[in-house]
């Protein structure tokens, strides 16, 4: 069954001859559709709300002027907001003002000259789905919006704190506190505060804020501290702060490097000064770090809680820190000398209710560490320490402890062991190629090596060397020199990965030697270069003139038809990192090093401009040799040409068989 309605209306059709009267029957829904089509849409329709947050505006200024009356114990602060904005184009624009849970007393919207703005141009709209209050504007111009916002104040005895969360950065904050003796003003994050007292009992705070939308301000009222509270100040201050110690001791030969992390947890939402006693002899504070740190100082006391000396560390924060948690990091150096037994230093945070913590011990020297005795502390497994403490070192944690009171004692014993010298440079593969001409020989010596801290590689070349043509380290030309014994000194570098391990790179030397003219027959002998580092595998190749057939040998080396492994090649890893003469060379090198996992150091900047790479032509007859584990021995390669004629018995034997 179809429900509908029929509309019958008459119309007159006029023509030149005679009029015609007729009827048309339409369903109601078609008639309504026809009428909707005759409506003219507005030129600038309002936005569909909730909708899209347009960026068609610029906020020029946001100033907040607040006031709180402490004497009435008012729990709300009045904050007058003055927005100064500019709409860029004639289109519907949503400008966020506050979250929907903010209490306001209405809005005043004016043009820049103070004229009121009509509601068809701008109005305030609450969008429930987005939990935001917006200013809706549809015309390009400069506007001012004024409103008063009420925000709650947290009160804890004589401590007052106000937290603010805005939709935009506040340019300047002016805050008046009436009826209070304002003390210990603090703001978070850090800001510039100018305090003044225009009249008795009123304190004005002018605050220049960072680019932030969330901040908090706190202060104390000296008038609200009763005599009983002043007498028993410690009774309610001390119980409100607890400290977690996380201490890491690094044992060296004669010193102990200590890094202590103190995590303060305070219920009073404000901290200003921190005092720590460091128990132990010959202790020096190296560094103190933490947010909002103003200054720190140390004072030596001859005796703390007895005859033992101690160091008093005083830390001052900028104003008061309006936060319930705070971390302070203290680095110290403790000299223990050559004595095998020593006590670890301990830290005692003053003016707190409870302090407990963990201790981890590592070693940074060739020593062995054992526990002698302990008091008021429990032994723990290294894995029982917090992830934060274990992440502070890449070394193995040898000993671990936990304590519930800072008055503990840990006595350790160290045993020093003689250090064994190991290789600081290793050559995995070296390749010598000798190109022989009529009266000269060109030798190319290339090595694949890794180096940790060696400064120079000492190279011995044959006494008939006429000139050194080029020296390259990791593909970079370097300036070589000679020592008192005439050995060639090649400056080395260290190419380290991000994990601290050495990377393989190349060292390449090309030099020219002379010899007597070859002629048509004779013997050629050429000494090979040697270095003061063992070589795992040495490969050699003799390129002899093609018109001379020779019988070759290399003392101690095996003659082969082809090499057993690929030959070392010149590395070019560093070229992308070294940017000589550029302004941002360090930044470029560091960024590329992070990407490619390379860190370069110890480069020699004095490089001769004429140090070019020399390639040896691959011509002539090739004779190849190899030897494993070459230990600084002088090797020679020789060729007899033409080879000796076979004997009569050899010829007969070859004919028979």
* Higher-pLDDT residue of 63, 183: 63
pLDDT at 273: 82
pLDDT at 444: 94
Q: 35 pLDDT exceeds 80?
A: no
How crowded is residue 20: how many other Cβ atoms within 10 Å of its Cβ?
10
Q: 630 pLDDT exceeds 50?
A: yes
pLDDT at 650: 74
Rounded Cα gap, residues 460 and 291, in angstroms: 58
pLDDT at 606: 39
Rounded Cα gap, residues 195 and 197, in angstroms: 7
pLDDT at 306: 52
What is the value of pTM for the model shown? 0.46
pLDDT at 332: 95
pLDDT at 498: 55
Give the range with max mean pLDDT: 154-158, 544-548, 602-606: 544-548
Rounded Cα gap, residues 164 and 657, in angstroms: 106
Rounded Cα gap, residues 492 and 603, in angstroms: 8
pLDDT at 74: 56
Which of 136, 142, 163 lies closest to 79, judged by CA?
Answer: 163
* Whole-number average pLDDT of the chain: 79
Class of residue 565 by CB neighbours under 10 A (exposed 0-12, middle 13-18, buried 19+): exposed
Domains present along the chain, CATH in parentheses:
6-37 (no CATH), 57-222 (2.60.40.1730), 241-416 (2.60.40), 425-641 (2.60.40)
Helix (H, G, I), strand (E, B) or coil at 583: coil
Torsion sign (Cα): 64, 69, 70, 73: negative
Which of 366, 365, 372, 302 lies closest to 344, judged by CA?
Answer: 372
Ranges of H-type helices in 238-303: none
Stretch among 95-104, 141-150, 488-497 having the lowest mean pLDDT: 488-497
Q: 33 pLDDT exceeds 60?
A: yes
Rounded mean pLDDT, 330-355:
90
Strands (DSSP E) contained in 461-572 are 465-473, 476-477, 481-482, 488-491, 494-496, 505-514, 522-527, 530-531, 535-544, 551-554, 558-560
Continuous segment of H or E residues that includes residue 146: strand 141-156
pLDDT above 90 covers what percent of the chain? 26
């Amino acid at each position: 069954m179809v429900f509908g309605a029929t509309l019958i209306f008459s119309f007159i059709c006029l023509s030149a001859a005679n009029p015609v009267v007729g009827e048309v029957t339409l369903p109601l829904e078609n008639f309504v559709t026809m009428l909707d089509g005759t409506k003219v849409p507005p030129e600038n329709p309002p936005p569909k709300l909730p909708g899209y947050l347009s960026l068609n505006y610029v906020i020029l200024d946001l100033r907040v002027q607040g006031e709180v009356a402490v004497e009435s114990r008012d729990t709300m602060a009045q904050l007058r907001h003055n927005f100064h904005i500019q709409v860029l184009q004639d289109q519907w624009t949503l400008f966020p003002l506050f979250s929907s849970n903010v209490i306001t007393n209405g809005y005043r919207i004016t043009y820049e000259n103070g004229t009121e703005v009509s509601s068809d141009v701008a109005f305030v709209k609450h969008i429930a789905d987005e939990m935001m209050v917006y200013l809706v504007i549809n015309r390009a111009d400069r506007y001012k919006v004024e409103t008063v916002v009420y925000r709650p104040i947290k009160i804890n005895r004589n401590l007052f704190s106000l937290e603010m969360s805005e939709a935009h950065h506040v340019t300047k904050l002016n805050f008046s506190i009436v009826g209070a003796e304002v003390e210990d003003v603090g703001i978070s994050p850090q800001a510039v505060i100018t305090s003044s007292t225009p009249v008795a009992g009123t304190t004005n705070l002018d605050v220049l804020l960072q680019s932030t939308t969330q901040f908090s301000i706190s202060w104390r009222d000296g008038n609200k501290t009763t005599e009983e509270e002043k007498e028993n100040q410690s009774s309610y201050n001390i119980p409100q702060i607890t400290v977690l110690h996380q201490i890491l001791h690094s044992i060296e030969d004669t010193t102990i490097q200590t890094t202590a992390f103190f995590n303060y947890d305070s219920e009073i939402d404000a901290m200003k000064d921190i005092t720590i006693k460091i128990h132990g002899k010959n202790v020096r504070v190296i560094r103190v770090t933490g947010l909002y740190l103003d200054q720190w100082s140390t004072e030596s006391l001859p005796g703390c809680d007895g005859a033992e000396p101690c160091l008093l560390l005083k830390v001052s924060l900028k104003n008061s820190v309006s936060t319930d948690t705070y971390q302070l990091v203290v680095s110290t150096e403790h000299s223990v000398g050559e004595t095998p037994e020593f006590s670890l230093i301990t830290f005692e945070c003053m003016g707190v209710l409870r302090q407990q913590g963990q201790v981890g011990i590592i070693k940074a020297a060739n020593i062995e560490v054992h526990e002698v005795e302990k008091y008021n502390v429990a032994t723990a497994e290294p894995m029982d320490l917090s992830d934060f403490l274990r992440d502070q070192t890449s070394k193995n944690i040898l000993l671990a402890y936990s304590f519930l009171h800072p008055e503990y004692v840990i006595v350790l014993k160290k045993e020093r062991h003689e250090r064994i010298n190991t290789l600081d440079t290793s050559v995995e593969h070296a390749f010598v190629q000798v190109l022989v001409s009529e009266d000269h020989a060109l030798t190319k010596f290339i090595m694949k090596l890794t180096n940790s801290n060696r400064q120079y590689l000492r190279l011995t070349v044959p006494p008939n060397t006429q000139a050194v043509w080029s020296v390259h380290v990791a593909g970079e030309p370097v300036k070589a020199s000679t020592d008192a014994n005439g050995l060639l000194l090649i400056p080395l570098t260290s190419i380290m990965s991000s994990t601290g391990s050495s990377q393989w790179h190349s060292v390449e030397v090309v030099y020219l030697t002379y010899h007597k003219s070859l002629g048509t027959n004779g013997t050629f002998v050429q000494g090979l270069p040697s270095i003061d580092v063992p070589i795992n595998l040495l490969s050699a190749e003799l390129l002899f003139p093609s018109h001379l057939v020779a019988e070759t040998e290399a003392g101690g080396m095996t003659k082969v038809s082809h090499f057993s492994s690929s030959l070392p090649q010149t590395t070019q890893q560093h070229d992308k990192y070294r940017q000589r003469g550029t302004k941002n060379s360090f930044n470029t090198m560091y960024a590329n090093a992070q990407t490619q996992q390379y860190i370069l150091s110890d480069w020699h900047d004095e490089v001769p401009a004429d140090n070019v790479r020399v390639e040896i032509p691959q011509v002539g007859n090739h004779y190849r040799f190899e030897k494993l584990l070459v230990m600084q021995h002088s090797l020679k390669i020789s060729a007899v040409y033409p080879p000796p004629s076979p004997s009569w018995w050899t010829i007969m034997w070859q004919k028979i068989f």
